[in-house]
Amino acid sequence: MKTLAILILCALAYVCISASTGVSDSGVSKSDSPNEEGVFVQRDQAATLMRQKRAGTTDPASLSLTQLESLKEVCEANLGCENMMDTTGIIAAYTAYYGPIPY
């Protein structure tokens, strides 16, 4: 009997809360409808916000440690590249001997 009373009270509380927050019978609130202004943005505005990196424009500061280690291993196979790597750095040495960084 106590379980039934608790269940009825919970159902009543749910009905009261859903009525005050604007949840319809389908369970979707009125503010979640796709007709709401400001939900969608124009294509050019979205492209500006979600601009992706272009191939070939790798910033050396954005390389991970694993990528730098991979470049170092390639450069160590060439004695000239290895010597240049010690003086000017891995990015400059790899670029001088093997061209642009592939990632």
Q: What pLDDT does 75 receive?
A: 92
Q: Would you state the pLDDT for residue 71? A: 92
Residue 84 clears pLDDT 90, i.e. is over it: yes
Give residue 10's pLDDT.
Answer: 86
CA 6/CA 72 separation, integer angstroms: 68
Distance CA(91)–CA(75), nearest Å, equals 10
pLDDT mean across residues, the chain: 78
Report how far residue 58's alpha carbon sits from residue 102's, in angstroms, rounded to the nearest whole number: 9
Whether residue 56 is predicted with pLDDT greater than 90 in this model: the reply is no
Residue 48 Cα to chain centre, angstroms: 15
